[in-house]
Structure 1
Amino acid sequence: MKYSNEVENEGFSIINNVFTENEIENLISLIENKTENNPENDTFRKSQDLFAIRQFHKEIPETLPYIFNQNLQNIIEPIFGKGYFITKSIYFDKPEKSNWFVAYHQDLTISVDKKIDVENFENWTIKQNQFAVQPPTEILENNFTIRIHIDKTTKDNGALKVINNSHSKGILRIENLDFKKEKETICEVEKGGIMIMKPLLFHASNKTTNNERRRVIHIEFSKQELPNGLEWSEKTIIQN
């Protein structure tokens, strides 16, 4: 299958036309209703360059039937199999005049419910009562992320840039990548399309230059149980 091969070999795949215009409008309506009625919510992060909702699928669970439409379910299962659950989700809204940019990095942490000293789980942090930790590489290697694009995303409004196949190199410092030998792709996605990516894929995004908004729902998945009493803090089973 094309998409499965792309995810395995390149670390990412772009699939357009996963969501209808009507499904996207329903998602926007649910998000706007929540943000307008709960402006002081602790899980909201707001600045002139970025608005974000952490624990998105728990804050607005009404979005889940629209997100996990038949198209998305038909994509996930052939690529990754059964048994995956949500471990984390964030809604990003990058406004029209945003100067927000993100340097190249890998996604190295997971969200857990408490801090327990477990071998090979390191670099603990806590932010707003949320524990994050870097797990063993094999956990990261088997997880995946889906980014749902509520707006058309181009190189001019902060589309992700990735280093193809960088997910296959394990955990790396960015200075150990020889950019002269690497292939960089700008991941432009249509409204209603998705990008699938592996956490260890190096990715970055530039500032917005075309005065166009960029809204994305970022969802991370795993099917691995954590050891020694550690639990995923946002674990949610996907209902078919």
Structure 2
Amino acid sequence: MNKEISAEGFSIISDVYSNQEIEQILAVINEVDTTKDTFRKSADLFAIRQFLKEIPAVYGLVFNSKLKSIIQSTFGEDYFVVKSIYFDKPEQSNWFVSYHQDLTISVDKKVELANFGPWTVKQNQFAVQPPIEILKNNYTIRIHLDDTDENNGALKIIPKSHLKEIYRPETIDWNFESETVCKIKKGGIMIMKPLLLHSSSRTTNNTKRRVIHIEFSNIELPKEIKWVERI
């Protein structure tokens, strides 16, 4: 799996969660107050930013023994959570995301730092593009709470694209690149590198796609800023 992630930029692992564990996670999510600034709700998308901080009761359910074992064997013992988001793409959602890399990290404030920038603010949360070495070192885990395929917005990725570091979508040469649809069953996970080019299509089969997105790092930031979600 480590070789696959290094070479291809991603790996898919089935049956990390049982159906009962998924239902327990969803039950906790369904009980929360959705009026906070970190919650985004529209006809096309429901999202919870700083997911693990906003809903601490879900932490022990998300980090079950299987996931903790995967993290330790794949990342090592020194990685920590730096970002978490819950996405719910409803049955009739027209939400889509074009090809992109995840080039920013979430931090506690904006300060002028060499090699950090540009900056953005989204729902009172600061984000910045850090030095490339931080992005190359990070991992993302996507936990699938529903069966996901090309009909309900499964991720489409370009294998090996993470190896090209900053890779602008407008420069993709489809004569040389290929696209892979990441079909993942409920209870499975996808591990990916943030620099992997990925996109998501609209839902066409009236089924949900609920995903928990968690980013990990083992790099300490300059003393002037902090990871806003470090766990």
TM-score (norm 1): 0.94
Q: CA deviation at 1:66?
A: 1.1
Residue 174 (1) aligns with residue 169 (2): yes
Q: CA deviation at 1:75?
A: 1.1
**Where in structure 1 are there 5+ consecutive unaligned residues?**
none
Aligned partner of 1:234 in structure 2 is: 229
Picking from 5, 17, 33, the partner of 2:3 is: 5
Aligned partner of 2:147 in structure 1 is: 152
- Map residues 188-203 of structure 1 onto 2, 5 A cutoff: 188-203=183-198
Aligned partner of 1:78 in structure 2 is: 73
Q: Per-residue CA shift, 1:4-43, capped at 9, x if unaligned?
A: 1111110001111000111101000000011xxx132221
Task: Tell me, yes or no, if the aligned pair for 1:161 and 1:203 is still in contact at 8 Å.
Answer: yes
Name the stretch that deviates more: 225-234 or 158-167.
Answer: 225-234
Q: 1:211 to 1:131 in 2, by over 3 A?
A: same
Taking the aligned partners of 1:143 and 1:79, their CA distance within structure 2 comes to 12
C-alpha root-mean-square deviation of aligned residues, in Å? 0.9
Q: Per-residue CA shift, 1:114-137, capped at 9, x if unaligned?
A: 111111001111122211100000
**Where in structure 2 are there 5+ consecutive unaligned residues?**
none
Between the aligned residues of both structures, percent identity stands at: 60
- Map residues 107-122 of structure 1 onto 2, 5 A cutoff: 107-122=102-117
Runs of at least 4 residues off by over 6 Å: none
Q: CA deviation at 1:175?
A: 2.3
Aligned partner of 1:28 in structure 2 is: 26
Aligned partner of 1:59 in structure 2 is: 54
Taking the aligned partners of 2:132 and 2:219, their CA distance within structure 1 comes to 13
Task: Tell me, yes or no, if the aligned pair for 1:9 and 1:165 is still in contact at 8 Å.
Answer: yes
Aligned partner of 2:96 in structure 1 is: 101
Question: How many aligned residue pairs are there?
Answer: 231
- Map residues 211-226 of structure 1 onto 2, 5 A cutoff: 211-226=206-221
Q: Per-residue CA shift, 1:92-139, capped at 9, x if unaligned?
A: 000000000000000000000011111100111112221110000000
- Map residues 31-42 of structure 1 onto 2, 5 A cutoff: 31-34=29-32, 38-42=33-37
Partner of 1:122: helix, strand, or coil? coil
Partner of 1:153: helix, strand, or coil? coil
Partner of 2:11: helix, strand, or coil? strand
Q: CA deviation at 1:184?
A: 1.1
Aligned partner of 2:200 in structure 1 is: 205
Taking the aligned partners of 2:122 and 2:14, their CA distance within structure 1 comes to 34
Task: Tell me, yes or no, if the aligned pair for 1:147 and 1:195 is still in contact at 8 Å.
Answer: yes
